[in-house]
Structure 1
Amino acid sequence: MNMTLNKAAIETLAKVSTATITTILLKKGLRNVWMRGTRPLKAGQPRIVGPAFTLRFVPAREDLATPESWSSPRSTRAAIEDMPEGCVVVVDAMGTSDAGIFGDILCARMKKRGVAALVTDGVVRDVAGVLETDLPVWSQGVAAPPSVAGLTFVNWQEPIGCGGVAVYPDDIVVVDGDGAVLIPAAYLEDVLAAGVQQEQLEAWIMGEVEKGAALPGLYPPNAENKARFEATLATP
């Protein structure tokens, strides 16, 4: 696991929504951090934080994408045995929606190895069994055909694109009801520093809205409202 992503950092990020993280990174000039097509497979999945463990597929080629390839030393099965506890597996399936990258047995093994979550811009199969494994999954949905019907697995732990976002091994991934967001490792400290206070600010603004306050000067806050908010932080 990325040494900078310690227990305290994970606990802090677990309190910060993906929506807030995108706002923080936008202010840093990073606009493309939300992975398109990554929806929770099941409602109510918790917010999860972990270092990215990447897998990459390319389009299927008939001589390579075969059931026999599942026994190759370079296979999804071999990649799973390399996955460390606490990682978020991020899979580049090129947005393919008619070939399931993983089914129930592979997801069960990932869960047994302590994988925190699976994120892909593709789909999974054997959905009833996948749900029974309790492995949290974010994907485009489900499909019955196996991966080799449309994809060739090529490697793991290298830079990939998932949902139009560049993902490097050990970048930080946060997933919740809004999908999967990438925090480049170099920006972790920035997000940690700003995240919790941004959540507190937005909670305070929501409270003011519920009291009937108008939005101009409140969201975003002007100097007066910023001072009012900061006064609440100083109150024991």
Structure 2
Amino acid sequence: MNDQELTAKLREVSFATLGHFLELGFVHHAVRAMVPGGRIVGRAVTLRLAEADACAVNRALVTLQPGDVLVIDMAADESHACVGAITQYAARCAGAAGIVVDGVVTDLNELQTCQLPVFARGTSQLTTKLVGGKASALNVRVNCGGVAVNPGDIVLADDNGVLIAPAEELAKVTDRALESDRSEPKLMARLRAGEPLEEVLILSNAPQQPN
């Protein structure tokens, strides 16, 4: 399946259903939606922020292309907010699909007004500064909530959490996940009709008899 086909399917699938078929790539649950109701499907642009340097974030922003997702590794700094109202709006103007920060952000009310999806561990009033240092690195392998992220990996995020994985790994399971999603209305209908749970639910991994 080519990139366009995969992206179209990922826009349709429930990300939580992918969790039935994958074990790796799930970012720690502490990294959560700061803008409720947002949904991300996009390619990772990675930034390892080695110091609390707003200039490094700005340099990352100017590289963003439509559909990109800025993934920021704060190197365990959970004090300095690296994303706020201007950062989010600049990413939106670049056509970004969202921002994921393994750290904290600021300007929560403004973030929710802008509505570009932002995911982070929480909020802070302490922010990055215009340092202009050279220690940070753009488009390198980073860590986001326990997941190793490479530039170009696919980022999937919604109110349930964040999943980041190579396209080839997602392509292996997306069709199965879509099939599972499409079977849910039938299962719900059977439950509403009062069928016994033992006849509706899968109770083992033995082959199931057709119903």
State TM-score, norm by structure 2: 0.85
Is 1:16 aligned with 2:13?
Answer: yes
Runs of 5+ consecutive residues of structure 2 not aligned to the other structure: none
How many residue pairs get aligned? The number is 203
Sequence identity, in percent? 28
Residue 17 of structure 1 contacts residue 176 of structure 1 at CA under 8 Å; is this kept in 2? no
String of CA shifts for 1:37-69, please: whole Å, max 9, x gaps. 221112222x321111111123x4xxxx5xxx5
Say whether the 8 Å CA contact 1:70–1:76 is kept in structure 2. Answer: yes
Q: What is the aligned counterpart of 1:176 among 158, 165, 172?
A: 158
1: CA distance, partners of 2:36 / 2:185: 23
RMSD: 2.3
Question: Does structure 1 residue 80 correspond to structure 2 residue 61?
Answer: yes
| 1:43 corresponds to which of 36, 47, 68 | 36
Q: Is the 8 A contact 1:172 1:182 kept in 2?
A: yes
SS at match of 1:78: helix
Question: Pick from 126, 136, 161: which aligns with 1:145?
Answer: 126
Query: Residue 132 in 1 paired to residue 113 in 2?
Result: yes
* Cα 1:179/1:99, change in 2 over 3 Å: same
- After TM superposition, list the pairs within 5 Å mapping 1:106-117 onto structure 2: 106-117=87-98
Structure 2 residue matching 1:161: 3-state secondary structure: strand
Contact 1:111 1:134 (8 Å CA) reproduced: no
Q: Report the equivalent of 1:97.
A: 78
Q: Counterparts of 2:74 and 2:200 in 1: how far apart (Å)?
A: 42
Higher helix share: 1
SS in 2 for 1:23: coil
The answer for unaligned runs of 5 or more in structure 1 is 26-30, 229-236
Which residue pairs with 2:171 in the alignment? 189
Does the 8 Å CA contact 1:53/1:169 hold for their aligned counterparts? yes
Distance 1:95 1:14, change over 3 A: farther
Say whether the 8 Å CA contact 2:34–2:111 is kept in structure 1: no
Q: Give the Cα separation in 2 of the matches to 1:94 and 1:207.
A: 48
How far, CA to CA, are the matches of 1:207 and 1:44 in structure 2? Answer: 26
Q: Quote the residue 1:205 is aligned against.
A: 187
User: TM-score normalized by structure 1?
Assistant: 0.76
In 2: Cα distance, 1:41 partner to 1:70 partner: 20
Distance of 2:105 and 2:165 partners within structure 1: 25
